[in-house]
Structure 1
Amino acid sequence: MSQQPSGWYDDPSNPDLIRYWDGVTWSNHTAPKKSPTLSRTPTASLPQQDGPSQGGRVQSGQGGQVGQGGQDAGRPPMPQGSGWDAGHGGPQQPSGQPSAPQYPGWGGQGQQQGWGGQGQQGQQGYPGAPGYPGAPGGAANWMSSIKTTADGVPLASWGRRLGAWVIDGVILVILTFFLWRLLAPEVFTELSRMVDVASTGDQAQLEEATRQMTDVVNAASLKTGIAQFVLVFVYCIAFWTTTAQTPGKMAVGISVRRADRPGPLDLATAVRRRVLSLLGLVPGIGVLWGPLSVLDGLWPLWDDKRQALHDKIGRTQVVVGKQPRNRS
């Protein structure tokens, strides 16, 4: 498509304005299509396309051409900084209509474009400038920058996913506290005793209380660790397979779905999506779970499909909005 010349065109984002096209891209200079003072302009002062001088207008001596002093009288005033080139005179309009700007170099020498794409005598309309939102094909240009699923659903941003993770994390910390209270009450008993000893200032007793506290926590860590894993597992699976949204995802307006179809996850897909977390329970490998979980959380930042590692294993994607309750 040939390059459009610079000039004033209909603003693609506001039908009441015109915007200056610099030949490459849209500038920030805009102006109203209709002058706010036009209704106060006497119709007698507006120029005619042809004919003798009207309303005291000074004509040049050349074939009825309006002189330079009268050429701007009917033009809507442009705001300061609009980028309007006063040297590019607009075509003369019939009485009662605002005059339009000339688009230099367009349509050949001696021709001026019609306003709003409607040509006047000896003039032609202009097509929309290429590559801007609002022109034919322009919407597709900016829409193509939005990442979507294969069927066109917008993918959730990393920021929303992080927000959902924080909210779910707070909920799970609270649930874990009650889980420890239920399964390992002795830990809280020792903790209370250690606080009392610390308040006495007896260093020897404090060291002994600290050692006993450590032993109690280590003894309870296996059962509480397994119980905590089950808690998170059930929390995620239950929400993924019913509403496709944990409370955190509900709060930020996103949901999880299979990559190839909408709807809540089936049980097999939901389990696959959690399988990566099993590494935290494997002796000798669990130490790697910390760095791996960080990498997993950051992966959507550079992934073309915005999938984390656990999304790739489960073949899932996180999208904007809710999922239909019925699985496809």
Structure 2
Amino acid sequence: MSFGSPNNPYGQPQDPQQGQPGYGYPQQPGYPQAPQGVPQQGYGYPQQPGYPQQGGYGGYPPQQGYGATPPYANWGWRFLSRLIDSLLYGIPYILVIVGAGNKTPALTIIGFLGLIGLFVYQIILEGRTGQSLGKKAVGTRTLKEDTGQPIGAGMAFVRQLAHILDGLPCYLGYLWPAWDSKRQTFADKVCGTIVIRSS
């Protein structure tokens, strides 16, 4: 019996150079062959998927302690943002004073509603984005210290109430960021917030 015989149980031998199963290259069951021209991945450790880079503070990724020191806003930037916010509140406040002085109830009511509306707007804005109008103007942002995320409207309101602590001991809490390592006021320390430079 010859290998070329049709009775050969092993079949016709094939040329290994043609990529066909032969005696030197048996076809293994369960292992599909990759088409020609497609690079095959080698053995060993599987290729790891790429990890996307974490964004900067514009993306506010969740984090624990930031991993690196964030760019805390110094006392000057904090004071400037607070000054801008105070000036904005001054506009409806003047309407209240003028209306009360001239005995013009309509003007007083407009000013009073303006104060309430601006306060609520600022709370919602800072809670969602970390920026009041003043902070947005100077490029600072209030974030939760342990997550690096905006603090939410509820905590933004609580933080505004906590500023009472900053004013009680001769406004010492407002001055505290000038030498504090994290540039925090007393209200920030109580609420677990920080103010960073965002631009």
**Which residue, 139, 150, 166 being the options, matches 2:65?**
150
Output the CA distance in 2 between the equivalents of 1:293 and 1:245. Answer: 26
CA distance in 2, matches of 1:160, 1:186: 35
Quick check: 1:169 aligned with 2:73?
A: no
Number of the residue aligned with 1:271: 157
Which residue in 2 is equivalent to 1:300?
177
Query: How many aligned residue pairs are there?
Result: 132
Q: Distance in 2 between matches of 1:301 and 1:231?
A: 32
Change in CA separation of 1:228 and 1:293 when aligned onto 2, cut-off 3 Å? farther
Structure 1 segment 184-223 matched on structure 2, within 5 A: 185-189=99-103
Q: Is the 8 A contact 1:241 1:270 kept in 2?
A: yes
Equivalent position of 1:319 in the other structure = 196
Asked if 2 retains the 8 angstrom alpha-carbon contact of 1:155 and 1:319, the reply is: yes
CA distance in 1, matches of 2:169, 2:179: 16
CA shift for structure 1 position 291: 4.8
SS in 1 for 2:101: helix
Residue by residue, what CA displacement relative to the aligned partner does 1:155-206 show, whole Å, maximum 9, x if unpaired?
Answer: 111111111111111111012223x16xx8342249xxxxxxxxxxxxxxxx
- Name the structure 2 match of 1:159: 76
Task: Name the CA distance, whole Å, in 2 between partners of 1:248 and 1:292.
Answer: 25
RMSD value, Cα: 3.5
For 2:131 and 2:158, how far apart are their aligned partners in 1?
Answer: 17
For 1:201, the equivalent position in structure 2 comes to none
Structure-2 separation of matches of 1:315 and 1:270: 11
Match for residue 26 of structure 2?
none
The secondary structure found in structure 1 opposite 2:142 is strand
Cα distance in 2 for residues equivalent to 1:292 and 1:233: 25
Instruction: Measure the CA separation in 2 of the matches of 1:229 and 1:189.
Output: 19
Distance 1:258 1:176 in 2: 31
1:193-225, Cα deviation, whole Å (9 max, x unpaired): xxxxxxxxxxxxxxxxxxxxxxxxxxx9xx9xx
Against the structure 1 CA distance between its residues 307 and 253, is the aligned structure 2 distance closer, same or farther, given a 3 Å change threshold?
same
Between the aligned partners of 1:302 and 1:228, the Cα distance in structure 2 is: 36
> Identity of paired residues, percent?
29
Residue 307 of structure 1 aligns to a residue whose secondary structure is coil
1:270 and 1:293 mapped to 2: Cα distance?
A: 23
| Superposed structure 1 runs of 4+ greater than 6 Å apart | 226-229
Q: Contact between 1:270 and 1:314, CA under 8 Å: does it hold in 2?
A: no
For structure 1, list consecutive stretches of 5 or more residues without a partner in the other structure.
1-148, 191-219, 280-288, 323-328
User: TM-score, normalized by length of structure 2?
Assistant: 0.54
Is the 1:269–1:315 Cα contact (8 Å) retained in structure 2?
Answer: no
Structure 2 portions without partners, runs of 5+: 1-63
1:237·1:270 contact (CA, 8 Å) conserved in 2? yes
Aligned-pair CA distance for 1:244? 1.2
Matched with 1:234 is 120
**Aligned-partner Cα distance in 1 for 2:116–2:190:** 20
Secondary structure of residue in 1 paired with 2:125: helix
Q: Output the amino acid matched with 1:239.
A: L
Q: CA, structure 1 residues 320+293, in 2 after alignment: closer, same or farther (shift >3 Å)?
A: farther
The one-letter code sitting in structure 1 at the alignment partner of 2:72 is L
**Residue correspondence of structure 1 range 66-145 to structure 2 within 5 A:** none
Q: How far has the Cα of 1:293 moved from its partner?
A: 6.7
After superposition, give the CA deviation of every residue in 1:203-258 in whole Å (9 maximum; x if it has no partner).
xxxxxxxxxxxxxxxxx9xx9xx979855642431221222111111111110000
Q: Distance in 2 between matches of 1:159 and 1:316?
A: 18
Paired with 2:185 and 2:175, the residues of 1 have a C-alpha distance of 7
Residues of 2 paired with 1:255 and 1:291: CA distance? 24
2:148 corresponds to: 262
Deviation (angstroms), 1:307: 0.6
